[in-house]
Amino acid sequence: MKIALDPYMHRHLSLPDLCRKTAELGYEYLELSPREDFLPWWVRPRAHKERIAEFKKALRDHDLQLASLLPMYRWASPHEDERRAAVNYWKEAIQVAVEMGCTTMNSEFGRGPSPDRGHKVSCCGGVHSHESSEAAWWRSMEELVPILESEGVTLNVEPHPEDWCETLHPALDMLKTIGSDNVKFLYCTPHTFYFGDDMKAMIAEAGPMIAHVHIADTYNHKASSGLRYIVNPPGAKVTVHQHMDMHQGEIDWDLFFGELAKTGFDGIVTACVFGWEERADESGRFMRQEIQAYVDKYFR
């Protein structure tokens, strides 16, 4: 099992300093989420040869391994120009992973088209259906899965709050339908209350499809008859979506790790906290220690 840090709260650091910081916080593995100088949000990778060499050297210098790369592209956009560009970016990102010696990538279902184009499949409203984004995603996967398989790269995909796919189903069904050992499921704990209502049952159902988990706490926005959060003015479009330190929210961590152990999980566990950049170091150290304690309790 690999316990990794998503260093998004440290993204202002250079790649060499990012590696130094990750090692200082007690991690042996790093999951690189989008950052402007490597795999930026939505646009073409900027991981040129010199930067890749610099990153690889920094990983070696600090005895780190790259657990996963996390690209985000609009591969589910019903606008064919956006989708086509995203597929091309994905192909480049896969080659970056290969060059980095990284056999795992993870991402979301893509959040549909750019909000500038108008839609109703994620957070900005508009004219396109969920079905159009799903159809676009399938077209992209038909092209990308053979590349993942030929390059020996596994892609772990997660539903995301207010994506066109934000629940356990249909996400799990779609990933299973692909039928590839190179496409698996990422269980993101702070999205639990979007996935469904029974964490134990969801983990059991996903079973060996779970190859990667993101660890952060959150509140159950559906609790107390849906009155846990009251937002004014009525009708305001708000997403309750936290990534907090463990024990600051309402995830039952004994239940989560206990049920995860029953699946035979032996993948990547990433500390994925975003909420307090002013205490990023403290959070990173705490999460490393706390995750290890639960792994020791339930997996050994």
| Whole-number Å distance between alpha carbons of 257 and 264 | 11
By the 10 Å C-beta count (0-12 exposed, 13-18 middle, 19+ buried), 296 is classed as: exposed
Q: Please, which contacts does 171-178 make with residues 24 or more away whose CB atoms are closer than 8 Å?
A: 171/109, 172/205, 172/206, 172/209, 174/134, 174/137, 175/209, 176/209, 178/141, 178/145
**Residue 15: predicted pLDDT:** 98
| Closest C-alpha among 147, 164, 154 to residue 112 | 164
**Residue 125: predicted pLDDT:** 41
**Residue 130: predicted pLDDT:** 86
**Residue 121: predicted pLDDT:** 46
**Residue 204: predicted pLDDT:** 98
**Residue 263: predicted pLDDT:** 98
* Tens digit of each residue's pLDDT, the chain (300 residues): 999 999 999 999 999 999 999 999 999 999 999 999 999 999 999 999 999 999 999 999 999 999 999 999 999 999 999 999 999 999 999 999 999 999 999 999 988 888 887 544 444 444 557 899 999 999 999 999 999 999 999 999 999 998 899 999 999 999 999 999 999 999 999 999 999 999 999 999 999 999 999 999 999 988 888 788 788 887 787 777 899 999 999 999 999 999 999 999 999 999 999 989 999 999 999 999 999 999 999 998
